[in-house]
Amino acid sequence: MTNPTVLILLGPPGAGKGTQARMLEEDFGLVQLSTGDLLRAAVAAGTEAGKKAKAVMEAGQLVSDEIVLAILKDRMAQPDVSKGIILDGFPRTAGQAAALDGLLQAAGQKVNAAISLEVDDEAMVGRVSGRYTCGSCGEGYHDEFKKPAVAGTCDKCGGSDFKRRADDNAETVRERLKAYHAQTAPLIAYYDGKGVLEKIDAMGAIADIRTGLGSIVKRVAA
Ligand code: AMP
Closest CA to 14 of 212, 148, 182, 206: 206
Q: How far is Cα 43 from Cα 59, in angstroms, rounded to an integer? A: 14
Annotated active-site residue 174? The verdict is no
Asked whether the predicted pLDDT for residue 2 surpasses 80, the reply is no
Closest CA to 111 of 134, 84, 93, 129: 84
Q: What is the pLDDT of residues 41-61, one digit of tens each?
A: 999 999 999 999 999 999 999
pLDDT score of 222:
62
131-134/162-163 β-pairing: antiparallel
**62 C-alpha to center of ligand 1: Å?**
6
**11 C-alpha to center of ligand 1: Å?**
12
Q: What is the pLDDT of residues 68-127, one digit of tens each?
A: 999 999 999 999 998 899 999 999 999 999 999 999 999 999 999 999 999 999 899 999
The enclosing H or E element of 47 equals none
Q: How far is Cα 86 from Cα 160, in angstroms, rounded to an integer? A: 29
- CA–centroid distance for 188 within its chain: 15
Ligand 1 site residues, Cβ closer than 6 angstroms: 13, 35-36, 39, 56-57, 60-63, 68, 89-90, 92, 96, 167, 176
Nearest CA to ligand 1 atom 14: 36
Closest CA to 71 of 35, 110, 18, 21: 35
Going edge to edge, which strands form the sheet with 162-163? 140-142, 131-134, 162-163
Annotated active-site residue 92? The verdict is yes
> What pTM, to 2 d.p., does this model score?
0.94
